[in-house]
Amino acid sequence: MRYFIVSTFLLAFILATSCAKRGFIDGGPKDTIAPILISSKPENFSTNFTGQQIRINFDEYIKLKEVDKQLIVSPPLKNKPDITPVTASKYINIRLRDTLQANTTYSFNFGQSVQDNNEGNPLQSFSYVISTGAFIDSLTLKGRVKDAYLNKVDDFVSIHLYDVEDKYTDSLVYKNLPRYVTNTLDKGKDFELKNLKPGKYKLVALKDKNNNSKFDPKTEKIGFHSDYLTIPNDTIYEVELFKEKIPFKTLNAGLVAKNKIEVGYEGDGKKMQIELKNGKDLIKTWVTKPMERDSVQVWFKPLAVDSLHLHVKNQNFEKKYTIRSNKKAADTLVLSAKTGVLDFRDDLFISSSTPIEKIDHTKISIVNKDSVAVKFTHFYNEEKQKLELYIKKEPEQTYTTLILPGAITDIFEKSNDSLKFNAKTTRLSDYGNLVLNLNKVKSYPLIIDLLNDKNEIKATKWVKDKEQKIEFLLLQPMKYILRFIYDVNSNGEWDTGSFLEKRQTEEVLYFPNPVDVRMNWDVNQNVDLGG
């Protein structure tokens, strides 16, 4: 009986403790160790290489992540090597599809694409190096990349070095592979070119979107060091990326409404000239530009003809189009206006769906919330089809814009009906003020932009003379990024560079930290531009 009681007690104790503490099988600590290279054939840093096959062995199963994007072969090959297998394995096979150059060091930089199969731990900056000659080139070149206009640098920027020999011309960046190449990958703005031989070189950076190691000015950014450089040296070079202005040309032209032709283009269309003819007779046109689109709209009064002839000129460009008629409907007059909250830095406006030809300002009035008339002046922006109304704004006020019938007539002799639009201001204390105290300005004019966190311009000033105190009043509360542009040619805008013309961009500087402008607050900020 005593044995039975003791046994029963022990069994109950074991059951109770096992039920009180539930658990799971522990698989041990998480694997945080990257794969390790254990051997290769030929060995890493081998010389006098003559084969077409390379095998690299690791201590565990690995997978290749984004190897097409991460792998950089320098000097670049005309044909990408075959990398296998595509599934998990303990090795990598490289099959070369090119004949390698004699007496040349080749590096296969895998970036972070080699990862262990289970946890994805990357083998950081793994590279495999061989030479077709008797020794391995070992010189390096370091630098950093920045954007010439924006305060953020693109990921995966390619860095190219071109041999500067008797046959070198700047046109090589469009059609030839560089002598050496590396990439910033997605880890930042710094770069290092390794396994270089002594010589004289041209340093170029590309946002190489199609990964062909050649410059396509239509879609890609470029940057370059102005002078040739020699290796070895220990200089850290800085290269600024920019998008060139491409030559102007039209892309298409066609009838998009019974009374409107749209012309798409690329390049700078500011000096575009357009003629529209019916046979030999010149037709009156109105040219407008939609916002945020590289196209213009050519308006005309509809004609009963089968086709019209459009002639586009822009400096050295010239092209003619035959525009066939169709059964598309004509655009009609629709007016819209600024409504809701009226920012103190904004103006009232009336936008039109068709170009305006006549404005009878006596049939337009603005009254405040007490029905008292408010004086205004106006300006019609033909390109944007916008009637801008300027008033002296007061805080916590409502402004009602009244438009009587016939106040606005478009080019098709259509007029408006009665319209009414309301907009209101808020308290002055809802805004903040920013005063910049400038020091060491190198030159004037100076463009000052205030940007939000999306790099959108929220306020701007063109400072022509030597002003040290610059005021931005009644700003929306937010953290502003300050951008300063040295406007060398005094045209009021930032000018990009040109590789073939050996011209860098106009200099852009950013204040190191965002400036916090708060409600009902004045901020005085000292700015040292290091001139």
User: Coil, helix or strand for 134?
Assistant: coil
Q: What are phi and psi of 279, to 5 degrees?
A: 70, -120
Please answer whether residues 195 and 107 qualify as being in contact, where contact means their C-beta atoms are separated by less than 8 angstroms: yes
Confidence at residue 293, expressed as pLDDT on a 0 to 100 scale: 84
Q: Which residue, of 381, 402, 426, is where some domain finishes?
A: 426
Confidence at residue 29, expressed as pLDDT on a 0 to 100 scale: 59
Residue 18 in domain: no
pLDDT at 9 over 60: no
> How confident is the model over 143-149, as a mean pLDDT?
96
Mean of pLDDT over the chain: 92
CA dist., res. 227 & res. 275, Å (int)? 45
User: Is there a single domain that holds both residue 449 and residue 491?
Assistant: yes
How wide is the angle at C-alpha 316 spanned by C-alphas 314 and 321, nearest 5°? Answer: 60
Confidence at residue 14, expressed as pLDDT on a 0 to 100 scale: 43
Which of 494, 347, 504, 372 lies closest to 425 in space, CA to CA? 347
Confidence at residue 30, expressed as pLDDT on a 0 to 100 scale: 64
CATH number at residue 462: 2.60.40.1120
Per residue in 199-252, pLDDT tens? 999 999 999 999 899 999 999 999 999 999 999 999 999 999 999 999 999 999
Strands (E) in 295-425, as ranges, are: 295-299, 307-314, 317-324, 335-337, 340-341, 348-352, 356-359, 364-367, 377-381, 386-390, 398-403, 408-410, 419-424
User: Is there a single domain that holds both residue 419 and residue 486?
Assistant: no
Between 291 and 485, the higher pLDDT residue:
485
Least confident among 176-190, 247-261, 388-402, 435-449: 176-190
> How confident is the model over 308-336, as a mean pLDDT?
94
Confidence at residue 24, expressed as pLDDT on a 0 to 100 scale: 41
Confidence at residue 86, expressed as pLDDT on a 0 to 100 scale: 87
Per residue in 451-502, pLDDT tens? 999 999 999 999 998 877 999 999 999 999 999 999 999 999 999 999 999 9
Name the pTM for this structure. Answer: 0.85
CATH number at residue 417: 2.60.40.3710
Residue 293 in domain: yes
User: Is there a single domain that holds both residue 389 and residue 474?
Assistant: no
Q: Which residue, of 392, 426, 460, is where some domain finishes?
A: 426
Residues of 461-472 as b/e, b for ≥16 C-beta within 10 angstroms? eebeeeeeebeb
Percent of the chain scoring above 90 in pLDDT: 85
Which residue is associated with the tokens 């575009």?
Answer: 272
User: Is there a single domain that holds both residue 144 and residue 126?
Assistant: no
The single-letter code of the amino acid at 42 is P
Domain residues for the domain of 444 are 430-528
User: Is there a single domain that holds both residue 414 and residue 467?
Assistant: no
